[in-house]
């Protein structure tokens, strides 16, 4: 294994680590379904060396390690809070380390580069995919799931709030835009990078949440982190109030609330 990914992860901009394992776990079942769909795309090979980029609280990395009967699995994340949870699942040939996926690099070390719901936090996917490909041993596999729900009011409304005063000033003009590409672009990139086989799909997940208010709690677990880390606690509270005020009338008031969520899953083998 190369040392390249062992450099300490960079802290998030602004207020540091804002990932909350508790908030993220509030929709544990809904969030883990795409993980299992992605895992089902991986071809089982004996004795695999696996890296899980953005492993989060580690439980699912453990499930992946078990499922594959892997020789070695390393989960990487740059959140101390997430890694503290993940360590409870470490043992044997499964371990967790701090690293920033944005600077992850390895040379032909892995039989599987796996990443669920994390690469959407890293810019420039063409060059990222080049680096992830270089990390694969001959015949290696890549498996990635990224959310692609930024057109839904749940996400689009955050951009509106960010552009209103006083948030625009407080954020210095920052608006979160997803770096996720259209699905067909991933297919092209995988082909350009020399993968012999590939499977790319857009999947709409159907979630039934208790109420439309639950959408706010969902988005607080991930997408809103980019605003939270750039605002003071008081500013972030006001941001949430305004988001709530604008978003709720845009969502049907029905219980359970039907929340559609687009995700791109791709798998390829060299």
Ligand X SMILES: C[S@@+](CC[C@H](N)C(=O)[O-])C[C@H]1O[C@@H](n2cnc3c(N)ncnc32)[C@H](O)[C@@H]1O
Which residues form the interface with ligand X (CB under 6 A)?
A: 9, 19, 31, 35, 54-56, 60, 77-79, 82, 100-102, 116-118, 121-122, 222
From the CB of 219, what's the least distance to ligand X, in Å?
Answer: 12
Query: For ligand X, which is the closer residue by CB, 62 or 140?
Result: 62
Reduce the secondary structure of 32-66 to three states and give it as a string.
HHHHHHHHCCCCCCCCCEEEEECCCCCHHHHHHHH
Q: Is the peptide bond before 166 cis (omega within 30 degrees of 0)?
A: yes
Q: Is 177 exposed, middle or buried (0-12, 13-18, 19+ CB in 10 A)?
A: exposed
Query: For ligand X, which is the closer residue by CB, 222 or 228?
Result: 222
Do residues 115 and 52 touch, judged by C-beta distance below 8 A?
yes
From the CB of 118, what's the least distance to ligand X, in Å?
Answer: 4
Query: For ligand X, which is the closer residue by CB, 150 or 238?
Result: 150
**What residue number has its CB nearest to ligand X?**
56
Instruction: Give φ, ψ of 74 to 5 degrees.
Output: -120, 130
CA pair distance 16, 74, nearest whole angstrom: 24
In DSSP terms, 115 is beta-bridged to 144
Collapsing DSSP to helix, strand or coil, 219 comes out as helix
Q: Which of 76, 116, 112, 72 is nearest to 94 (CA)?
A: 72
Query: For ligand X, which is the closer residue by CB, 12 or 109?
Result: 12
From the CB of 113, what's the least distance to ligand X, in Å?
Answer: 13
From the CB of 253, what's the least distance to ligand X, in Å?
Answer: 28
From the CB of 228, what's the least distance to ligand X, in Å?
Answer: 13
Query: For ligand X, which is the closer residue by CB, 86 or 161?
Result: 86
């Amino acid at each position: 294994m190369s040392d390249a990914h062992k450099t300490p992860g960079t802290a998030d901009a602004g207020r540091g680590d804002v990932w909350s394992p508790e908030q993220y776990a509030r929709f544990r079942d809904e969030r883990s379904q795409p993980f299992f769909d992605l895992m089902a795309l991986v071809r089982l090979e004996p004795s695999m060396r696996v890296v899980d980029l953005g492993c989060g609280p580690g439980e699912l990395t453990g499930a992946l390690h078990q499922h594959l009967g892997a020789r070695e699995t390393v989960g990487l994340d740059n959140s101390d809070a997430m890694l503290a949870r993940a360590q409870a699942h470490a043992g044997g040939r499964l371990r967790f380390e701090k690293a920033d996926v944005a600077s992850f690099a390895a040379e032909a070390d892995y039989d599987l580069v796996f990443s669920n719901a994390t690469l959407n936090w890293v810019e420039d996917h063409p060059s990222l995919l080049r680096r992830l490909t270089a990390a694969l041993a001959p015949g290696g596999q890549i498996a990635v799931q990224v959310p692609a729900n930024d057109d839904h009011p749940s996400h689009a409304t955050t951009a509106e709030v960010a552009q209103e005063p006083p948030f625009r000033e407080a954020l210095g003009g920052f608006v979160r835009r997803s770096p996720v590409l259209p699905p067909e672009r991933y297919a092209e990139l995988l082909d350009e990078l020399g993968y012999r086989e590939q499977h790319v799909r857009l999947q709409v997940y159907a979630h039934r949440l208790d109420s439309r208010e639950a959408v706010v709690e969902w988005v607080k677990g991930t997408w809103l982190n980019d605003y939270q880390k750039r605002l003071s606690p008081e500013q972030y509270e006001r941001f949430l109030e305004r988001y709530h005020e604008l978003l709720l009338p845009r969502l049907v008031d029905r219980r359970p609330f039907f929340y559609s969520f687009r995700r791109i899953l791709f798998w390829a083998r060299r």
